[in-house]
C-alpha cells in the first residue's frame, strides 16, 4: 500500500463568540456534518469517534477513508484529534483546532490537519495520485472551515 501524507492549515473568522465555537467543535457528533465527504461519524468510546468517508474514485483507483480518532480539548481554545489503531482503519490523521477571539462577537478558527491514507495505487500512477491528494487536502480543510462558518452563523 502507498501512503500519501498531506498537511494543510487554513483559517477563517466566524461571527460567533469563542465559547460558542468551542462548544460546537467539541460536540464532534453534532459538528461532523461540516466534514466534507463524510459518510458517518459514530462514538467509539470516551472522546473517541469512528469516521468513514464516502468513496472517492480517481482514474482506476477507488478509496474509502476510515479511521478512529481520540479528541482532547483544553475547555477554551484548543482541540486536538489523533487517530488511534482500530479495526480496518486505513488512514492516519492528526489535527488541531486553534480558536482566537476576534473582539467579543467573533472568533478566528485555524485548522491544521495531517493525513496519510493507505491506497492501493500502482507504482506507475503514484506521481499522478500524489499531486491530486496534496491539492485535495488543502481544499478539504478550507471547505471544512467554510461549512463550520455556515453552521455557526446560521444557528
- Which CATH number do you get for residue 37? 3.30.530.20
Q: What is the per-residue pLDDT for 94? A: 97
Tens of pLDDT, residue by residue over 68-123, are: 999 999 999 999 999 999 988 999 999 999 999 998 999 999 999 999 888 666 66
User: Can you tell me the distance from the alpha carbon of 136 to that of 155, in angstroms, rounded to the nearest whole number?
Assistant: 29
Q: What is the maximum alpha-carbon separation in the chain?
A: 53
What's the domain count of the chain? 1
**CA distances from residue 135 to 26, 117, 121, 143, 154 in whole angstroms, order as listed:** 28, 15, 17, 13, 29
Question: Which range marks the domain in which residue 47 is found?
Answer: 2-154
Q: What is the per-residue pLDDT for 128? A: 67
Q: What is the per-residue pLDDT for 137? A: 83
Amino acid at each position: 500500500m502507498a501512503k500519501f501524507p498531506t498537511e494543510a492549515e487554513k483559517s477563517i473568522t466566524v461571527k460567533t463568540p469563542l465559547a460558542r465555537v468551542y462548544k460546537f467543535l467539541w460536540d464532534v457528533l453534532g459538528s461532523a456534518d461540516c466534514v466534507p465527504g463524510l459518510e458517518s461519524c459514530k462514538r467509539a468510546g470516551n472522546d473517541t469517534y469512528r469516521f468513514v468517508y464516502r468513496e472517492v474514485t480517481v482514474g482506476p483507483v477507488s478509496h474509502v477513508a476510515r479511521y478512529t480518532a481520540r479528541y482532547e480539548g483544553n475547555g477554551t481554545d484548543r482541540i486536538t484529534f489523533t487517530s488511534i489503531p482500530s479495526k480496518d482503519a486505513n488512514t492516519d490523521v492528526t489535527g488541531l483546532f486553534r480558536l482566537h477571539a476576534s473582539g467579543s462577537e467573533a472568533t478566528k478558527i485555524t485548522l491544521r490537519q495531517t493525513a496519510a491514507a493507505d491506497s492501493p495505487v500502482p507504482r506507475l500512477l503514484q506521481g499522478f495520485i500524489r499531486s491530486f491528494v496534496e491539492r485535495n487536502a488543502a481544499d478539504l480543510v478550507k471547505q471544512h472551515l467554510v461549512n463550520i462558518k455556515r453552521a455557526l452563523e446560521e444557528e
